[in-house]
Amino acid sequence: MQKFQLLPLLLCGFLVCSCSQQPDNKAPRATDDQAPEQQLSTEIAETSGLACLRNNQFLTINDSGNAATVYQLDASGRIINRYATNGRNQDWEALALHQGRLWIADIGNNSGQRATLDLYHAPIPQGQIKELMVDRLELRYPQAPMTKPSFYQHELDAEALVSTGDSLLIFSKNWIGLQSRVYAVDTNAKASTLAQVGVTSALPGVITDVAYSAQQQVFVVAGYENFRLNPLTFMLSGDFAPFIAVLDAKYQLITSVQIPTGGQLEAVCLDDTQNIWLSQESSSHHKAKMWRWGALSTLLSATD
């Protein structure tokens, strides 16, 4: 998420909307499955994507204003490898492992004015290599970019890239409504227009990342309450009211749960044992960190 002066935008939002979005408090919280939160190095203070590898290892990236580098972490959040790339980090926001390749989503668009988006992809990095050589896929939305500055007042932003095994999908970060558009990526092209394949049902906030469980055939969504819809609370607390939610295969909401830390939740992934891992970037009141929230089955138990 790119950093901007939020106060004028929040005041504007307060004048046009006084409603707020609240996650379902009846949903379960993690119990014995949860691991201690691990503070991340200041080198990855703006962690904005998370991919679960085997053996409790992970990949992450920083968002805009940082190097075009992929970091490998262990379960304690310690950096164990750094992979410089030949890509450009305009606003890296998400990672996905899709059909044997690592995909890096340069899709952040808070202003709504980007004419094109970029996906970078390369074989999944292993071991000690000096540079990860990536290929670039240029994308466009079906809708035209905004012609005037309108930060956080449009639906042409995105921070979520997810593989279902067969498809690579982008979920929009909609600042003006309670739904998200879902787009499919043509991974065989060098440049293409995104194809809308669905719309989510009412969400408890904006989407910052998505993971997919082939075993359960559900999407696990990370995000936080849309601060434009509750600007006074955000200005007073400085917290983001994060949540995780589950969507079915048709992108309809099954359940959601609040994350009590209040930080800027940015990324989610599922490991081989169907545990949910989360990461948040640093904010005014919180350090960057990652942790195992708990089992997907715990989150789904409220729907049984």
Mean pLDDT of 208-237: 87
Show the tokens assigned to 136: 């670039």
Is the per-residue pLDDT at 282 higher than 90?
yes
Q: Which residue has the tokens 């979520």?
A: 160
- How many whole angstroms separate alpha carbon 300 and alpha carbon 302? 5
Which sequence spans correspond to the domains of the chain?
7-18+30-303
Q: Which residue has the tokens 């609240």?
A: 22
Query: Sorting pLDDT into bands at 50, 70 and 90, what band is 304?
Result: low
Residue 96: strand pairing partners: 103
For residue 55, count other CB atoms closer than 10 A to its CB. Answer: 8
The proportion of the chain whose per-residue pLDDT surpasses 70, expressed as a percent, equals 87
Mean pLDDT of 102-120: 95
In terms of DSSP bridges, do strands 218-224 and 206-213 run parallel, antiparallel, or are they unpaired?
antiparallel
Residue-level pLDDT at 4:
45
Query: Sorting pLDDT into bands at 50, 70 and 90, what band is 254?
Result: very high
- How many whole angstroms separate alpha carbon 220 and alpha carbon 272? 14
- pLDDT, tens digit, for every residue of 147-162? 887 888 899 999 999 9
Is the per-residue pLDDT at 215 higher than 70?
yes
Mean pLDDT of 125-145: 91
Is the per-residue pLDDT at 18 higher than 90?
no
Query: Under 8 Å CB-to-CB from 112, ≥6 apart: which residues?
Result: 145, 146, 150, 151, 153, 154, 156, 157
CB crowding 175-203: b at 16 or more within 10 Å, else e = bbebbbbbbbbebeeeeeebeeebebeeb
For residue 5, count other CB atoms closer than 10 A to its CB. Answer: 8
Higher-pLDDT residue of 92 and 237 is: 92
Mean pLDDT of 116-134: 92
CATH code assigned to 7-18+30-303? 2.120.10.30
Show the tokens assigned to 209: 């990342």
Query: Sorting pLDDT into bands at 50, 70 and 90, what band is 285?
Result: confident
- How many whole angstroms separate alpha carbon 19 and alpha carbon 108? 26
Query: Under 8 Å CB-to-CB from 155, ≥6 apart: which residues?
Result: 172, 173, 174, 175, 176, 177, 181
Residue-level pLDDT at 236:
66
- pLDDT, tens digit, for every residue of 54-65? 999 999 999 999
Is the per-residue pLDDT at 235 higher than 90?
no
Higher-pLDDT residue of 243 and 261 is: 243
Mean pLDDT estimate for the chain: 89
Is the per-residue pLDDT at 16 higher than 70?
no
Q: Of 65, 43, 21, which is closest to residue 282 (Cα–Cα)?
A: 43
Show the tokens assigned to 107: 């899709």
Helix H or strand E segment including 65: none
Residue-level pLDDT at 6:
52
Q: Please answer whether residues 166 and 220 qualify as being in contact, where contact means their C-beta atoms are separated by less than 8 angstroms.
A: no
